[in-house]
DNA sequence: TTTAATTATGTTGTGTACAATACAATAGCA
DNA sequence: TGCTATTGTATTGTACACAACATAATTAAA
């Protein structure tokens, strides 16, 4: 196999591995909030942008309803969100923070700092990595 | 929130997203071999390095037995591998390619090329990304 | 040599992740 | 208005992914 062909394995596997490591870094930190990483991503969107449709959340996180529906039901069970059908269009389910969910935002402000610490790399390294990843994501998604 | 703190979200989420996109790129290509991406990774190891313990595969892929045992049983059902306990140490399960599994190696040589094409970026971009990812992986794992 | 610790794998439970499908509600159009 | 296509969500089935625990075999130590 030529060197170029090997390269795809040598890049794709580290991408796959790094994502698992990153989720693993979040795990003990988010455990204090009783959240998983995908659940945290949903909460971030609600904290930043307020009430959202299921499909809006799905578009932003690139997750489909088969993933989101059970995930959102778990957040609902924890009393962090409410799921209500829109009166105007009954197909739409609005996802809204509860008071508990809103309150969690304060505790969650500590998460990024803890992650940055455990990543243990320079801001310059992170920014370079972000640029490289965004380039490839744009190529793949366009 | 300071810009630096936002950075962790702005890097970690793209890492998480990119990994899903990459696995998604492999999906239609590997479908022709009736393999998933993690199954393909196991087959790659067996093609390159021959018979392995479960734990050796787990170490190389950073996967635990709760993931590997059912995955390996699925590969066994497809007659691509055999699982045999070692006579010397009966705790050890040796994972060995069948003739069918060995034969698949030829068809699979086309996979890296197809992935490189669909990634649609330059080799330089890929190598830069690989360097960035490997740096962070080393930091996290050390 | 009996016991204790370690090792290797398996099992169970929870939680993504996505394809395929279903279905109800809305929108667009003839 | 009625019909059709589209939209938004839910359901089902398959497959990871990992924590926690269980179990059996081996090794090490007293």
Q: What is the pLDDT of residues B70-89, one digit of tens each?
A: 999 999 999 999 999 999 99
Reported as a single tens digit per residue, the pLDDT across A18-29 is 999 999 999 999
CA–CA separation, B28 vs B23, rounded Å?
10
Q: What pLDDT was estimated at residue A120?
A: 83
Of A80-84, A136-140, B3-7, the poorest mean pLDDT is in B3-7
Reported as a single tens digit per residue, the pLDDT across A61-72 is 999 999 999 999
3-state secondary structure chain B: CCHHHHHHHHHHHHHHHHHHHHHHHHHHHHHCCCCCHHHHHHHHHHHHHCCEEHHHHHHHHCCCHHHHHHHHHHHHHCCCEEEEECCCCCCCEEEEECHHHHHHHHHHCCHHHHHHHHHCCCHHHHHHHHHHHHHHHHHHHC
Q: Is the CB of B51 under 7 A from strand C?
A: no
Q: Is the CB of A59 under 7 A from strand D?
A: no
Q: What pLDDT was estimated at residue A56?
A: 96
Do A50 and A86 fall into the same domain? Answer: yes
Q: Which residue is nearest to nucleotide D12 (CA to C1')?
A: A66
Q: Is the CB of B33 under 7 A from strand C?
A: no
CA quadruple B20, A60, A97, A43: dihedral sign? positive
Which tokens sit at B45? 């190891």
Do A48 and A20 fall into the same domain? Answer: no
Residue B129 belongs to domain spanning: 3-141
Phi and psi angles of residue B130, each rounded to the nearest 5 degrees, phi first = -60, -45
Q: What pLDDT was estimated at residue A66?
A: 96
Whether A126 and B7 lie within 8 Å, measured CB to CB: yes
Length of chain A as a residue count: 142
Q: What pLDDT was estimated at residue B106?
A: 95
Q: What pLDDT was estimated at residue B13?
A: 97
CA–CA separation, B26 vs B37, rounded Å?
6
Q: What pLDDT was estimated at residue A141?
A: 85
Do A97 and A50 fall into the same domain? Answer: yes
Per CB-CB distance under 8 Å, the chain B contacts of A137 are 14, 17-18, 21
pLDDT band at A78 (very low <50, low <70, confident <90, very high): very high
Position A142 pLDDT exceeds 90: no
Residue B123 contacts A where some CB pair is shorter than 8 Å: yes
CA B119 to chain centre: 17
Containing A94, the helix (H) or strand (E) segment is strand A93-97
Do A11 and A61 fall into the same domain? Answer: no
Do A76 and A129 fall into the same domain? Answer: no
Do A92 and A72 fall into the same domain? Answer: yes
N- to C-terminal Cα distance for chain B? 29
Q: Quick one: average pLDDT of A42-50?
A: 97
Do A66 and A54 fall into the same domain? Answer: yes
Distance A8 CA to D24 C1' (A): 41
Mean pLDDT of chain A: 93
Nearest chain A residue (CA) to B11: A130
Q: What pLDDT was estimated at residue A5?
A: 62
Domain count, chain A: 2
Q: How far is CA A118 from CA A108, A111, B2, B12, B136, in A?
A: 16, 11, 18, 12, 11
Nearest chain B residue (CA) to A42: B13
Reported as a single tens digit per residue, the pLDDT across B37-58 is 999 999 999 999 999 999 999 9
Helices (H) and strands (E) in chain A, counts: 7, 3
Per CB-CB distance under 8 Å, the chain B contacts of A5 are 112-113, 116
Percent with pLDDT over 70 in chain A: 96
Q: The domain that contains B137 carries what CATH number?
A: 1.10.10.10
Length of chain B as a residue count: 142
DSSP string, A102-129: HHHHHHHTTHHHHHHHHH---HHHHHHH
N- to C-terminal Cα distance for chain A? 29
Nearest-by-Cβ selection for A123 from B4, B15, B22: B4
Would you say the ipTM is above 0.90? Answer: yes
Mean pLDDT of chain B: 94
Phi and psi angles of residue A53, each rounded to the nearest 5 degrees, phi first = -70, 160
Distance A140 CA to C18 C1' (A): 18
């Amino acid at each position: 196999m030529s060197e170029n062909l090997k390269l795809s394995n040598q890049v794709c596997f580290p991408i796959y591995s790094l994502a698992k490591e990153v989720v693993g870094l979040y795990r003990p930190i988010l455990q204090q909030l009783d959240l998983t990483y995908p659940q945290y991503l949903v909460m971030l969107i609600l904290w930043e942008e307020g009430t959202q449709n299921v499909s809006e959340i799905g578009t932003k996180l690139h997750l489909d309803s088969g993933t989101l529906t059970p995930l959102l039901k778990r957040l609902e069970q924890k009393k962090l969100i409410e799921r209500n059908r829109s009166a105007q269009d009954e197909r739409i389910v609005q996802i809204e923070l509860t008071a508990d969910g809103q309150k969690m935002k304060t505790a969650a402000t500590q998460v990024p700092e803890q992650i940055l610490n455990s990543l243990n790399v320079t801001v310059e390294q992170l920014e370079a990595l972000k640029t490289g990843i965004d380039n490839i994501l744009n190529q793949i998604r366009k």
